[in-house]
Structure formats: C-alpha cells, structure tokens
Amino acid sequence: MRKPELVFIPGPGIGHIASVAEFATRLLDRDARLSITVVVITTPITPDVDAYIQSLVASDSRIRYIILPLVEPPSLELLTCPENYVTVLIENHKHCVKNAIQKHVLSESRPLAGLVIDFFCTSMIDVANELNAPSYLYFPSTAAFLGLMLYIPTHNEKSGEIFEISDSDHDIPTYPNPVPARVLPNVTFQEEGYACFLKHSSRFQETNGYIINSFSELEPYAITTLAADKKNPPVYTVGPLLDLKNGGKGSAFKRESIMNWLDAQPDSSVVYLSFGSMGAFDPPQLMEIAIALEKSGLRFLWCMRQARSSEKFSIIDRVSSLDGFLPKGFLERTKTRGMICGWAPQVDVLAHEAVGGFVSHCGWNSILESLWNGVPIATWSIYAEQQLNSFEMVKVLGLAVELKIDYRCGTGLVTANEIEKGVTSLMDQENVVRKKVKQMKEKCRQAVVEGGSSFDSLGCFIQKIVGK
C-alpha cells in the first residue's frame, strides 16, 4: 500500500525552508507510514537556496525536494514591500506547483494526504482545492502573532484603515494585555504590506488546521484562545522545532576559535550579542554598544554586522575593519574579556556553559534556541514581528529582560546607558527572569518527548493524516 503523501510548500528563503524541513523530519521520525515531498519556490533574491537544499538532501534522504524553475518574477519595484513581492511571486507559481504535484505524486499513484503551506502561501489553498486535498497552515512564529494575523480582518471591518503607530492599544484576543500599537510589525503601518497581510489572514480559516512552532506550556493563553474560537480549524502545537544538529553556516576554523575562547571563560559569565542574519547597525550605534560593554565590565561575545549604504550589511571578519567606529583603544582594553566576530555558531554558543545571557533581535527561532538552553534574553527588536515577540516575552510571559522593545531600524540611537542597564540586569544572577527561563528550559524539553504536549499534538496531526 502506498504511503500517504504530504506536500510541503514553504515560503522562499532559507529560514522558512529550514523550519519546514525540521518539521518534516520530526514527522518521519515519529511515523514511518508517511511520505513527504517539499516543493521549493525560488526567487531572484534567494540565490543560496539550491546549495542549501543539497545539504538538506544529504542530511535526510527520506524527504524528497522538488525545486521549481523560476517563473517570470514580479517587478523589482515591488521590493519596496518585500512581503508583497514574495506574495505575488508565490501566486505566479500556482500552476507550476499543481503540475509538480500531478507529475511527482499523483502520477505515481501516491495518495495525496494534504498540502502544508507557509503563511505566505495562502494562494496554494486554491491548488489544494483543485486537487481535492486538505490544506494545513504551517505557522513558524508564535501563537500570539497568529492571533494578530487573525485580528487584522476584524480590525479592517471596523476601521477599513491600516494600523497607525499613534493608535491606542489594541485588544487582540491572543494577548491577555492590551497591545501597544508601537510594537506591531512595520508592515501593518504600510498600505501595501497591510493589504498583503489582510489577503493572507482572511484565508487562514479556510485551511484544515493550524500547525504552530510553539507549545502549550510557553503560550497557554494564546493557544487556548485560538483553540476555543469555533471559526478556527484544529490547532496543532508542535514546537519547539529546532535544528540542533548544526550550528549554522561558517568555517570550521571560525567555529573552533569561538568555542575555544568560550571554553576559557567561567560558567554563566559571557553575554552573547547577535541580531540575526539581517541585523546590522550604523557606526554610531556600534560605538554605543562598545561603550556600554566596556563600562559594564562584563565578558562578551559580540557577533557584529555593520550597515552600509551600498549593501544590506557587511560581516565583520577582520580586526582591522573595526577602525573608525569603536572607541579608541577599545579592543586593547577589552581583549582579556571580549571577542568580536562576524558569524557565530549560535546553536552551539547558546548551549555553552560559559554563556549567561543573550542580547537578541528576538526572532522566534533565536528565542526558542535560547529557551531550550535556559539562557535569558535582553530584547532589542529590529524588524518583522520582533517587536511583538519582545512584548510577549517581557510583558506577557516574563521570560526576558527589556532592553528595547519598540526599536526599529533607522529610528534613532539606543544609548550606551540604556544598553549597559539592559545587559547588567540581564547578567544579574538574582534576576527573577533567570529562574523562570531555567524552568522553561525543562518544559521545552518535556514538551517534545513521549507524553509531552507537543508530542501528543503531533500525534493528533499524524492521526488526522493517516486515519485509523
């Protein structure tokens, strides 16, 4: 008997594909009755996807990847709103996705069990309907943020207008506290971005289930609220989904030098600063960070990226390239307690006993990695939904220290005094946040093992797919 086939359609981009690949691996590890194909949509602005897919194939040959040829891409003028550009590009691939499923799944008499789609891929609900198959929404961020997305159509019915940063607080059902407008994603304040999010969120409830990279012990209020809304399909919480097998892209030499340096530091003494693959700062902000680190007296590992006008960011790899935007003599004065790098194997760094705190942009994967290892976070949000993540971690869950919640790229300078105050509070061994994060570490690990909440939820999803 042919195995039921799930077809995954992730958003284009390595981050989205990586999250889906981890979920697919978790499914196959759990139940050999399943078969999985991932249909990959590429873009002119994601050139590294092909090489990344090859690395995934090498690491798990059970998952079949189909890389679609690039159709005529949208005009680059749409990149003024990247979310809209990606949405239009994915819509343009509907015919190719349908043909790929017919050719590689249906023609081989594989029973199509359903399409698992990224939240930027709601146009693929049409493909599922045409193939008489169920569709499931894969949401790689928080349950609370999913609640914001579902709130957007309600907001639009009431006001018919985009969000404004000057709005009063919003009563979003998945948050127990009113949500300040200043922590909403940038895209919700833009006409094109708001329309894009409205288009997607208006279709979520057409799917047959929400699969969320979270777990009930972490977001009990949000998950309970989603599950209680009868307009929503079933909710499956399957997180934390983390790739713990590799520390990311980078040379073995760089990894070894960083890990050797950490080996020489006392336990829980190092503050790690990293702001994601797109988190870059102008020289004046780098100067403020350096001043704060020096004044704090703390040990630090700083993953630094400098913003430039000619390119999105520049990875700092050479000490000589630091001249001009660090205090004079900074490197010499801090050489016994600090290390600066352009890339770090974050999974390995956060697992190291020397690391006692993480100054983070609060991307959801980084938050989950930090909680998994019991490392508390100081929030410094930059873009996407990160401000909302910071608000939830600090104000709702009490699992992070507030450094800056509502910071946005290009909207001002975070001063050395603010940064010093944040990192000092973060590394205070008596801070109650540290104890709560250590407790959440245990809950993270319990959630995914037999009898855990995510283990059981994943089992419910598998049962839905394979039937009795």
Evaluate the omega torsion of the peptide bond into residue 240 and state whether it is cis, within 30 degrees of 0.
yes
Work out the number of other CB atoms within 10 angstroms of the CB of residue 377: 27
For the record, the structure tokens of 334 come out as 């801090």
Cα 7 off chain centre by: 22
Domains of the chain in sequence order: 5-239+448-466 (3.40.50.2000), 252-443 (3.40.50.2000)
Q: Tell me: the pLDDT tens digits for 337-381? A: 999 998 899 999 999 999 999 999 999 999 999 999 999 999 999
| Cα 99-105-109 angle, rounded to 5 deg | 125
pLDDT of residue 277: 73
The amino acid occupying position 439 is Q
CA distance 82 to 86: 6
Q: Tell me: the pLDDT tens digits for 161-206? A: 999 999 999 999 999 999 999 999 999 999 999 999 999 999 999 9
Residue stretches of the chain with pLDDT short of 50: 308-320
Which ranges constitute the DSSP H helices of 170-282? Answer: 191-201, 220-228, 252-263
CA distance 52 to 18: 9
pLDDT of residue 298: 98
pLDDT of residue 306: 65
pLDDT of residue 312: 38
CA distance 19 to 368: 12
Q: With beta carbons less than 8 A apart as the criterion, state whether 351 and 373 touch.
A: yes
pLDDT of residue 444: 97
pLDDT of residue 316: 44
